[in-house]
Amino acid sequence: MTVHVLFAGPLHLVQMALEIEDGLRIAHKGPRVERLWRLAVRVSCALVILAIAEAIPFFDDVISLVSALTHPVLIYLAPIACFVKLKGWRNCSWPLLLGLATLLAFGMVVSGFGLVQTVVDIVAAFRGRN
């Protein structure tokens, strides 16, 4: 999990920093000043994110909850919906649709177990058992 965060985190951080830099019109300040402003914005963003992560108790459990709520849609529902949309309902055979529905149901059940465990972990953390 930590390796994933280390590699995926900067992708989100860069997009946010680019939007802030665009709002501050950093690109129009000259190359040397631009580089210093970009460094300051990106370090500030990282420090703000670090402060938020340290301020929220049980931050890892909160992130697990967000993941448990969003991943089923991204991993199971969206690919199946895109496949059916690209292929067309009428071009999908009944066994194929049944298989896709079974895969979706399996994914939702497994994701439900993950969601329940995440909620149990958050409740236990707040009660002081963790």
CA-wise closest residue to 64 among 111, 109, 1, 118 = 118
Contact 24, 37 (CB under 8 A): yes
Domain boundaries of the chain, sorted by first residue? 1-55, 57-130
117-126 tens-digit pLDDT: 989 988 888 8
Place of tokens 């860069």: 14
Residues of the chain with pLDDT under 70: 1-6, 129-130
SS3 content of the chain, % helix, strand, coil (to 5): 90, 0, 10
78-105 tens-digit pLDDT: 899 999 999 998 998 999 999 999 999 9
Contact 38, 74 (CB under 8 A): no
Mind giving me the DSSP string for 10-68?
HHHHHHHHHHHHHHHTGGGS-HHHHHHHHHHHHHHHHHHHHHHHHHSTTHHHHHHHHHH
